[in-house]
């Protein structure tokens, strides 16, 4: 059996898995080891198999990411189109989808376009600063220079007139 040189170089997960394996080597009863350590038999078998083939290095966690993605929707040309449209016209995801269909007859879902943008760190557009428009007040210096007038119909042939002078208001 392979033995590690030093426990100082191992991570906490590797040390824990190594204790499971050493306990199994001493006891030789998988059910007892699993009950004692709180793991399942398939988990113990997986780490035993990795330890036997790769040694202590096999006790390190491995990525579950696939090595290749053959059915990936956006190829290099489409990715370049999406990124070019994003940079040149600063379009959002929905408008990117519409422009790709209109100009290039390419159909992508919103999720696919978002994944491409996120993968290339272009998923956020710069936020526009919306400022509330402050109404421009005016007041005339001379009374009667500008008058605001409202008319309200009260009954047939009966009207109510209101006039407000902007100077005296």
Does 73 score more than 70 pLDDT? yes
CA distances from residue 45 to 24, 41, 124 in whole angstroms, order as listed: 10, 6, 45
- For the beta carbon of residue 76, count every other beta carbon within 10 angstroms: 7
Q: Which SS3 state, helix, strand or coil, does residue 43 take?
A: helix
How do residues 21-36 score in pLDDT, each as one tens digit? 999 999 999 999 999 9
Looking at residue 59, what DSSP letter applies?
G
Contact 79, 92 (CB under 8 A): no
Does 1 score more than 60 pLDDT? no
105 CB-side CA count, 13 A: 0
How do residues 138-158 score in pLDDT, each as one tens digit? 777 888 888 889 999 999 999
152 CB-side CA count, 13 A: 4
pLDDT, residue 27, reads: 95
CA-wise closest residue to 143 among 111, 166, 110 = 166
pTM comes to 0.45
Looking at residue 127, what DSSP letter applies?
P
Mean pLDDT computed over every residue of the chain:
89
* Tokens 């040189």 found at: 5
* Tokens 């998988």 found at: 30
Looking at residue 126, what DSSP letter applies?
P
Q: Would residue 90 be called left, alpha or beta, if left means φ above 0 and alpha means ψ between -120 and 50 degrees?
A: left
Average confidence (pLDDT) over 107-118 = 92
Confidence of residue 15 (pLDDT cuts 50, 70, 90): very high
């Amino acid at each position: 059996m392979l033995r590690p040189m030093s426990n100082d170089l191992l991570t906490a997960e590797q040390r824990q898995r190594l204790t499971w394996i050493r306990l199994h080597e001493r006891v030789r009863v998988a059910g007892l080891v699993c009950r004692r350590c709180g793991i399942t038999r398939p988990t113990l078998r997986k780490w035993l198999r990795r330890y036997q083939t790769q040694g202590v290095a096999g006790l390190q966690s491995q990525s579950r990411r696939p090595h290749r993605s053959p059915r990936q929707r956006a190829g290099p040309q489409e990715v370049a189109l999406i990124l070019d449209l994003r940079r040149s016209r600063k379009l959002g995801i929905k408008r990117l989808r519409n422009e790709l269909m209109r100009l290039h007859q390419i159909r992508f879902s919103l999720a696919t376009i978002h994944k491409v943008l996120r993968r290339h760190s272009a998923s956020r557009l710069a936020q526009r600063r919306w400022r509330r428009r402050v109404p421009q007040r005016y007041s005339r210096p001379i009374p009667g220079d500008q008058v605001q007038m409202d008319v309200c119909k009260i009954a047939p042939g009966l009207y109510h007139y209101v006039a407000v002078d902007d100077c005296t208001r």
